[in-house]
């Protein structure tokens, strides 16, 4: 589910995970519970990290796009 940004007039910004069908609904502030409108930002569709486990140990979190997640490109000389 996507993560959306909201801003409470009293407490400031916060993020919430909600289904896409609820993207335009105000959400209660986690601090004061007042309804807060969604900020006009693009939703985040992932956590920004992936779980890596090469079968050698427990899974560890690391940023997406790292060398173990992105296939290597062959250089022009190697082709």
Strands 12-17 and 35-36: what pairing? Answer: unpaired
Per-residue pLDDT, 64: 52
Per-residue pLDDT, 60: 47
Nearest one of 58, 12, 5, 3 to 31, comparing CA atoms: 12
Per-residue pLDDT, 28: 94
CB 30 within 8 A of CB 14: yes
Q: Does this model's pTM top 0.85? A: no
Confidence check: pLDDT of 50 > 80: no
Contacts of 79 (CB under 8 A, 6+ apart): none
Confidence check: pLDDT of 55 > 70: no
| Backbone conformation region of residue 70, classed left if phi is above 0, alpha if psi is from -120 to 50, else beta | beta
Per-residue pLDDT, 68: 57
């Amino acid at each position: 589910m996507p993560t959306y940004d909201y801003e409470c007039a009293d407490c400031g910004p916060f993020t919430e995970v909600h289904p896409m069908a609820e993207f335009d609904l105000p959400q209660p502030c986690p601090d004061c519970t007042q309804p807060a409108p969604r900020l006009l930002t693009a939703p985040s569709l992932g956590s920004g990290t992936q779980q890596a486990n090469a079968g050698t140990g427990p899974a560890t979190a690391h940023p997406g796009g790292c060398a173990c997640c992105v296939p290597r490109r062959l250089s022009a000389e190697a082709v």
